[in-house]
C-alpha cells in the first residue's frame, strides 16, 4: 500500500512540476522578444538581407517561393527604394504585449515606428509587428502588419490567435520637410 501512495505522490509532484514548467514557458521575458525585434530591424536598416530573412516568419518565405526568391525580391525592393531616394533612417521598437500560447506557438504584438527619408520629406509610419515563437520563446519570427488589417492577416496566417490585438493603421505623419 505504501508503494501505491508513494507512486501517487510522485505522479502528483510530476504533474505539478509540469504545470509549473508550462506556466514559465508562457511567462517569457519581454526584453528578449524586444531585443530580437531590434536585431531584425537593425538588419533591415543595415540591409543585411540574409540576417533579415532569418527573422521572417517561415510562411512568408514560403509565399515568396523560398529563401532565394525572398532574397531577390527584398534586394530588388531596396534597389527600387534607392532609385526613388527612399531610406529607412530609424526604427523604434516598443514594448511587447502579453504573450499568448496558441496552436503550439507563442504570439504577441509589438508596436514599431519607422522613419523614412525621401528627398522632400521625412515621414513616420507607426505599425505593428506580430512576434511568433515555435520553440517556447527561444527564437522569434516576425510578421510586419503595416498597412494591413487583422482580417487579411488572419486569412493569410490562420494560426494567428484571435486574442492578438492589432491596432488600426494610422496615416503616416510628416515629421520633417526637407
Q: Using DSSP bridges, classify how beta strands 105-117 and 100-102 pair: parallel, antiparallel or unpaired.
A: antiparallel
**Residue ranges of the chain with per-residue pLDDT less than 70:** 1-27, 178
The structure's pTM equals 0.81
pLDDT of residue 27: 57
Fold of the 27-177 domain: Nuclear Transport Factor 2; Chain: A, (3.10.450)
Please report, to the nearest 10 degrees, the dihedral formed by the alpha carbons of residues 39, 41, 45, 49 taken in order.
80
Determine contact, residues 119/178, Cβ cutoff 8 Å: yes
pLDDT of residue 151: 81
Give residue limits of the domains in the chain: 27-177
List C-alpha distances in Å: 34 to 21, 31, 86, 103, 131.
Answer: 23, 5, 26, 22, 9
pLDDT of residue 178: 60
Amino acid at each position: 500500500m505504501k508503494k501505491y501512495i508513494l507512486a501517487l505522490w510522485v505522479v502528483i509532484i510530476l504533474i505539478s512540476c509540469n504545470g509549473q514548467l508550462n506556466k514559465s514557458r508562457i511567462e517569457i521575458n519581454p526584453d528578449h522578444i524586444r531585443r530580437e525585434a531590434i536585431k531584425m530591424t537593425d538588419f533591415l536598416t543595415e540591409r543585411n538581407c540574409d540576417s533579415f530573412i532569418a527573422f521572417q516568419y517561415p510562411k512568408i518565405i514560403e509565399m515568396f517561393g523560398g529563401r532565394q526568391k525572398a532574397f531577390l525580391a527584398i534586394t530588388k525592393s531596396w534597389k527600387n527604394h534607392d532609385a526613388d531616394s527612399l531610406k529607412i533612417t530609424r526604427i523604434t521598437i516598443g514594448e511587447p504585449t502579453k504573450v499568448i500560447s496558441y496552436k503550439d506557438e507563442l504570439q504577441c504584438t509589438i508596436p514599431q515606428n519607422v522613419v523614412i527619408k525621401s528627398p522632400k520629406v521625412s515621414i513616420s509610419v507607426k505599425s505593428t509587428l506580430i512576434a511568433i515563437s515555435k520553440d517556447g520563446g527561444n527564437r522569434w519570427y516576425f510578421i510586419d502588419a503595416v498597412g494591413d488589417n487583422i482580417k487579411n492577416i488572419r486569412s493569410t496566417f490562420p494560426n494567428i490567435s484571435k486574442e492578438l490585438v492589432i491596432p488600426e493603421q494610422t496615416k503616416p505623419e510628416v515629421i520633417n520637410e526637407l
